[in-house]
Structure 1
Amino acid sequence: MFEDDLPELSTADLLESAADCRALANRADARLLEVALEYADRYHPTAHPDRAHRLARRSGDGRERAVVLGGDGCPEILEFAVAEFGVILGISPQVASGYLGHALALRHRFPFTWARLLAGDATPWKARRIVDDCAKLSAEAAAYVDRRVAPLIDSITPYRLEKIVKAAKMHAGPDLARAEAAEKACERGVFVGQSNEHGTRTMYIKAAAGAVIRNKATLDAIADALQVFGDTRGVQARRAEAVGIIADPRFTQELLDQARSQGLATPASHNPAPDSGCSGDVASDLASAGEARDRGCLNDSAGRSASAGPVGPATPSGSRWGDDDLLDDAVDSSDEPCPDEDGEPLNAAAQRALRAQLARIKHDAYTNPSLDNPSTGAGSGRARVRPGQTEIYVHLTDHTLATGTGVLRAEGLGPMLAHQLTELVGHGPYTVKPIIDLNDAVSVDAYEIPDRIRERVKLTHPVELFPYGTQETRRAMDLDHLRPYDPLGPPGQTATSNLAPLGRFAHRVKTHAPGWAVRRIDHLTLEWTTPHGVRFHVDPTGTHRIRPDD
């Protein structure tokens, strides 16, 4: 199938080989969509009357339902069939559901695009993006988009294709377009993204203009205060530092008060006021320049799209049409803001001095009696208020703990260098909880799961134990009794050895889906068997398919 003598090929032949590989991959992708359609047809409710009469009749019922994947005009499919299709492909149930929906939408809502795909004239991943973008359209509107874009899929760039799809959607469904525009205009929220390998995380805030302006003014005031205490970094770095400080109101107030007492006359100097010695026009220009700099940073990265949502990245997501999934990792689509143009980085000694200064100020914030009763300037005898507490689970070796060097893992953040833990914890106060020995078996007699057992299960299994599950174990996640709880059974049934974290869909599959079976192999491993007898072992290292000869 593939040449083994690539070094012997001429450059022209090597390029042709690359084109052949891509064409072969496209044919395989098209074939997989055909397989998905055949599978979906076999799990239409009419094909399984024995399961159809047991379908859930009301919302909230854990039993199987008949669902429509792909949008208006697509046939129904039995919901739990998605699970086995996903695990065989090595993808989560959510991704499998989307894939089956794309296949059904191509056949039933985009017949012209589907025909070109089968003929090899349309790249499958582009066709799937089109149907995904049009998922909310009616069947008639989707057919209009199909006629407009089908001949163009592989003849123009993805960027141009995206614009044409957007225009066709507006023509086909003007009411939906207006509703989506109104929804975006009213969309507000605070969206937190994933941590990167450098220990930083993004936050995207979409709120009322006045609230954003006031928040920015406070961040700028804290940034100026940091400069007073020796922080020589640029304003963007100091604003980022301010995000951690503003979370503690008393610390913020004390920092600003001490900065003012050391000569900070005005709270912020980034946007000079008209009476600051400049003429009105010049001051206005300077203020506009400050805002333009902020807009420039956003436009270079986060501003590639005007949309964001709780299930997307923290910064507004860029175009999904830049390239196919195979090349996504190679495309330069960094969401990093532009670097500071002013300021100097802090050396190690300056960093230590600044940290010590900030720790002292924070200590003052909670020992200064005047803050207990600002109106009298004297303490009222009330207990000192502490900032909100945050639990951080850190996994590290004894060597890292002893030396302060190496790599550790913070839950929800990922791997970090040991020295970054100081930045993560902040300036205190903090409490170090005793290490939990996860080898100890803990149980109770009641069906309800106490927090101490829930915490141990979470630490043992940080991700749900369904094959290729993606949900991180959290406090609200279902902890399933692998051996069903029997009120008349022996004591200790609710035990760390009999509980497994499962997302809601996985829990429903385990409880209600016909043909699925699960058993515990050891204290870390579950064995799942699908309705067609395929076995998977799920443990902290991931999901592993067990072949019959293993």
Structure 2
Amino acid sequence: MAITAPEQPGTLPDDAAGVLAFARRQRQTADAAEARLLAAAVQWAVIHPADSVEDAETYTFRSGLEGVIPIAGPGAPLVAEFSVAEYAAALGLSTEAGKHYLGQAVELRYRLPRLWRRVMAGDLPAWKARRVADATIGADLTEAAAAFVDTHVAPVAHKIRPTALDRLVEEAIGRFMPDQAEQRRRDGLDRRHFTVDRDHVSFDGTAYVTGELDLADAIDLDDAVRGLAAQLADLGSEATLDQRRALAVGELARRQLTLDLTPPEVEVRAQRATKPPAPRRTPVRKTVLYLHLTDHALTSTGDGIGRCETTRKPVTATQIRDWCGHPDTHLVVTPVIDLHDHVHVDQYEIPDRITERVALRDLTCVFPHCTRPARRLHPDHHGCDHDHTTPYRDHPETCSHGIAPLCRRHHRHKTHGGWTYETLEPGSYRWTSPHGYHYLRDHTGTTAIDPADDNPAEPGPPDRD
């Protein structure tokens, strides 16, 4: 296939040297713009300091009102909590990503002044300085330790590698934070973990598993997996060794072939003299599926596509059949929910039949750029609040079309931070920021409605739920 030039005649050079020169100029322009954006972030923090929040010293999160938050390391100024969301939205970022960006800017300005001066002078790309700020914030360095890093990194920040930066941060901790250094050494013993990544399931229905084990435990696990993989080969499996090892882990998890936690045989015989042994339960799979099917999908024998709600990614119908058809799977069929139904009750409390529809319709918190799941997907996670889009006192009815999921942070922004929104249609919302900017949030994501050079109108008073 032939390569064609971009459809911008007259704006791009047509020779190699010209393209390189053009690219270098654009890179310089982009670096200068990024430096100005960092400066604007610092100015935003200056305009919204901690003392701009009423009763900041007596504030508690239990009140739900605005507080002050640290966004950079010790010694950097605090900022008003609700100010973060609006700056983030203006940059097209989630609130958490915007907080992270503001923190990098403030960290550079107040704790890494040598790096800051290089960025403002156009001598250092902003992204390289932000990488250093990430390291010092993440390590929670004291002011003296951060100054040590700034002194040694600033002259070589344009070429330092991440590994060298990490070593310098470790040295700063050892020199200026001896107590923390000893604690980090002790914490290293707790790095052991075994993690199944349920949040990133592939299209083929696989997931990543990572872990750091004691050496003896790792060897035992490897022996068990190797042995069971060999048994699968003896039984006629034509899968590759890696595939059989992956299958062996699943069999170990369901049948606990090597994790026999029953008492020794002598103790078992003694127990049998007094009472029968407790039955051993074989673990079963628990799979929750929400299927949107057509008549053709019910009758066709071909492959289709489903969606895994945990990851909001597609999976093949064949993979779903494999999951449900496994002999250890306990399958429960729940009634079909028609999301077009208008369910309402004459009460403030929201029943499960409404919250279920809202979670399936919106999937996530509906604040601009937020992606927190509407439903609690893991036991240690917090599900979204279900907010009355029109205050209940003004319209004393609870209905599925008048409820929207908001995570706790953005529920507080809506109730106490000056953000307002309205439902254009079920699943589509128009938000207005405290400074009058507008954002459309629907199933496609977040879209800024106002032109870049438009002056927003003065916002009205926020509705209170």
Classify the TM-score, shorter chain: 0.7 to 0.9
Q: Which residue of 1 aligns with 2:39?
A: 34
Spell out, residue by residue over 1:263-308, the C-alpha distance to the aligned partner (whole angstroms, 9 max, x if none). xxxxxxxxxxxxxxxxxxxxxxxxxxxxxxxxxxxxxxxxxxxxxx
Q: Does 1:154 align with 2:158?
A: yes
Q: Pick one of 384, 395, 407 that aligns with 1:503.
A: 407
Q: Report deviation, 1:124.
A: 0.9
Map 1:231-242; keep pairs closer than 5 Å: 231-242=237-248
Q: Which residue of 2 aligns with 1:467?
A: 368
CA distance in 2, matches of 1:174, 1:22: 42
Which one-letter code corresponds to 2:408 in the other structure? R
Q: Report how many residues are paired.
A: 420
CA distance in 1, matches of 2:370, 2:402: 19
CA distance in 2, matches of 1:240, 1:224: 12
Q: Pick one of 355, 380, 387 that aligns with 1:480.
A: 387
Indicate how the Cα distance of structure 1 residues 7 and 526 shifts in structure 2: closer, same or farther if over 3 A, else same. closer
Map 1:297-376; keep pairs closer than 5 Å: none
Q: Does 1:220 align with 2:226?
A: yes
Indicate how the Cα distance of structure 1 residues 78 and 166 shifts in structure 2: closer, same or farther if over 3 A, else same. same
Q: TM-score, normalised by structure 1?
A: 0.68
Q: Which residue of 1 aligns with 2:319?
A: 420
Q: Which residue of 1 aligns with 2:105?
A: 103
Contact 1:464 1:472 in 2 (8 A): yes
Q: Does 1:19 align with 2:24?
A: yes
Q: Which residue of 2 aligns with 1:392?
A: 289
Contact 1:37 1:103 in 2 (8 A): yes
Indicate how the Cα distance of structure 1 residues 19 and 406 shifts in structure 2: closer, same or farther if over 3 A, else same. farther
For structure 2, the residue ranges without an aligned partner over 5 or more in a row are 1-7, 261-271, 377-382, 457-465
Q: TM-score, normalised by structure 2?
A: 0.80
Indicate how the Cα distance of structure 1 residues 208 and 382 shifts in structure 2: closer, same or farther if over 3 A, else same. closer
Indicate how the Cα distance of structure 1 residues 442 and 385 shifts in structure 2: closer, same or farther if over 3 A, else same. farther
CA distance in 1, matches of 2:232, 2:430: 55
CA distance in 1, matches of 2:353, 2:283: 25
For structure 1, the residue ranges without an aligned partner over 5 or more in a row are 257-374
CA distance in 2, matches of 1:384, 1:109: 57
Q: Which residue of 2 aligns with 1:525?
A: 428
Q: Which residue of 2 aligns with 1:81?
A: 83
Tell me the SS of whatever aligns to 1:521: strand
Tell me the SS of whatever aligns to 2:62: coil
Contact 2:196 2:207 in 1 (8 A): yes
CA distance in 2, matches of 1:12, 1:239: 53
Spell out, residue by residue over 1:431-480, the C-alpha distance to the aligned partner (whole angstroms, 9 max, x if none). 34333111112234444433333222111111110000021222332222
Map 1:108-119; keep pairs closer than 5 Å: 108-119=110-121
Contact 1:395 1:409 in 2 (8 A): no
Tell me the SS of whatever aligns to 2:127: helix
Q: Report deviation, 1:186.
A: 1.2
Q: Which residue of 2 aligns with 1:410?
A: 308
CA distance in 2, matches of 1:398, 1:103: 55
CA distance in 2, matches of 1:477, 1:455: 12
Q: Which residue of 2 aligns with 1:435?
A: 336
Contact 1:64 1:80 in 2 (8 A): yes
Indicate how the Cα distance of structure 1 residues 386 and 202 shifts in structure 2: closer, same or farther if over 3 A, else same. closer
Contact 1:44 1:76 in 2 (8 A): yes
Contact 1:477 1:502 in 2 (8 A): yes
CA distance in 2, matches of 1:214, 1:404: 43
Which one-letter code corresponds to 1:497 in the other structure? H
Contact 2:132 2:165 in 1 (8 A): no
Indicate how the Cα distance of structure 1 residues 455 and 56 shifts in structure 2: closer, same or farther if over 3 A, else same. farther
Contact 1:92 1:469 in 2 (8 A): yes
Spell out, residue by residue over 1:110-146, the C-alpha distance to the aligned partner (whole angstroms, 9 max, x if none). 0000000111111211111111111100111101110
Q: Which residue of 2 aligns with 1:187?
A: 191
Contact 1:395 1:410 in 2 (8 A): no
Tell me the SS of whatever aligns to 2:405: strand
